[in-house]
Amino acid sequence: MDKHFDWDLLKSFLGLARAGKLTLAAKRLGVEHSTLSRHLAALETALGLKLFERRVSGYVLTPHGEALLRRAEAMEALVLSIEEDAGQSRARVSGTVRVGVPDGFGTRFLAPRIGRLAAAHPGLHIELAAAPRGFSLSKREADLAISLSRPSVGRIHARKLTDYELGLYGVPALAAQVARREDVARLAFISYIDDMLFAPELDYAASVTKGIEPRLRLSNVLAQHEAAASGAGLCVLPCFLADDDARLVRVLGGEIRLVRSFWLLVPSDIRELARVQVTSAFIAGEVQREAGLFLPSGRG
C-alpha cells in the first residue's frame, strides 16, 4: 500500500458503501461523481483489492470490501472523536447531528420542542428527518433514530424511550354507531397501504376486531389523522396525536387499547460523541417529562 495513503479515499469508500449508488454517494459527500469514481479506483489500486461489484441495482461490497468497511468505520469514529475534542476547545457541543424519526412523533412531538435543544447549544446543527419509514444507521442515514422495535442485529445501542398508547378514533357521527367491537367492521376504516408499512407494529386492524377491510389506505399517520378528522372513517391513532383534537372522539376507549414502543437507537461507534449524547439525553428527557401524553391511561 502506498505510504502516502489518503484518508479522503476512505471517506469516499464509506460514502459509496452506505449509499450503494455513485451519484447518491457523490451528492451526500458534496463531490462530483467522477471524483468519487477516481477515489474508488485509487483506493482499489492502493490496496490491490476489488472492493465493489457493480450491478444493475448499484454498488455491492465484495468480501474484501466488507472487511474494509468494519475497519474504516472504526477509523471514522476515531477521526470524529478527535475533531469533536478539538471543537470543544471552542464550544462545548458543536457539529451536525441528524435525527431520524417516524413522522407522527417527529412532526407533532419532537419538532415543537427541538428548538430548545438548538437554543441551548448554539454550535450544534440539528437535522430532524421526520418520515414514514425506518432509517438505516449502518448506512449513516441518521446519527440516531427513533424506532418501533429493538434491533436484533448490528452494532447499535438501543434504549427504550417509552411505551405509547393507541386508540380507535372517529368523528362523533361515526363513533355513535359503535356499541361493540364487531360494529367497527361495518364502518369505513382507515389504515396503511400494505406494501408501504415500514414496521409490522403498524398493522392494527386485526387487533381491533375480525373482518375489518379498510376502505381508505394512506401512507402515513398524519394523513390518516386528517382523513379521520374529516369523517372519512374510523382509524387507530396514537393518543398523543388524537386526544387533543376536538374533531375526534375515542371509540370504546375502555376496551380498544393498543400499546407500542419507541426505541432510541444510536450506532455504538459514535455513541460517546458529545453532540450525540446531548441530543439523545434531550429527546429522552422530553419524553419522560411528557409521560402522560404517551400513556394517558397510566399503565404500560
CATH number, domain containing residue 56: 1.10.10.10
Residue 1 lies inside a defined structural domain of this protein: no
Domain boundary among 87, 121, 148: 87
With bands split at pLDDT 50, 70 and 90, how would you rate the model's confidence at 155? confident
With bands split at pLDDT 50, 70 and 90, how would you rate the model's confidence at 90? very low
Regarding whether 250 and 169 lie in a shared domain, the answer is: yes
pTM assigned to the model: 0.74
Q: Calculate the alpha carbon distances from 58 to 24, 97, 270 in Å.
A: 10, 27, 27
Residue 299 lies inside a defined structural domain of this protein: no
Our measurement of the distance from residue 107's CA atom to the centroid of its chain's CA atoms, rounded to an integer in Å, reads 12
Regarding whether 171 and 150 lie in a shared domain, the answer is: no
Question: Which residue in 167, 168, 150 sits closest to 159, CA to CA?
Answer: 150
Mean pLDDT computed over 27-55? 89
Q: Which of 8-22, 31-45, 202-216 has the lowest mean pLDDT?
A: 8-22
Tens of pLDDT, residue by residue over 241-282, are 999 999 999 999 989 999 999 999 999 888 888 889 899 999
Residue 219 lies inside a defined structural domain of this protein: yes
Residue 2 lies inside a defined structural domain of this protein: no
Q: Which of 68-72, 165-169, 224-228 has the lowest mean pLDDT?
A: 68-72
Task: Report the pLDDT value the prediction gives residue 300, as an integer from 0 to 100.
Answer: 54
Mean pLDDT computed over 126-150? 91
Which domain range does residue 48 map to?
Answer: 7-87
Mean pLDDT computed over 103-115? 96
Q: Which of 72-81, 85-94, 217-226 has the highest mean pLDDT?
A: 217-226
Q: To which H or E segment does residue 146 belong?
A: strand 144-147
Is 86 a residue whose pLDDT tops 60? no
Is 29 a residue whose pLDDT tops 90? no
Residue 237 lies inside a defined structural domain of this protein: yes
Q: Which amino acid is it at 2? A: D
Mean pLDDT computed over 78-99? 67
With bands split at pLDDT 50, 70 and 90, how would you rate the model's confidence at 84? low
Domain boundary among 60, 87, 114: 87
Question: Which residue in 77, 96, 101, 94 sits closest to 267, CA to CA?
Answer: 77
Name beta bridge partners: 54: 59
Read off the CATH number of the domain in which 201 is found. 3.40.190.10
Total number of domains in the chain: 3
Which residues lie below 8 Å from residue 253, measured CB to CB, with a gap of 6+? Answer: 167
Collapsing DSSP to helix, strand or coil, 110 comes out as helix
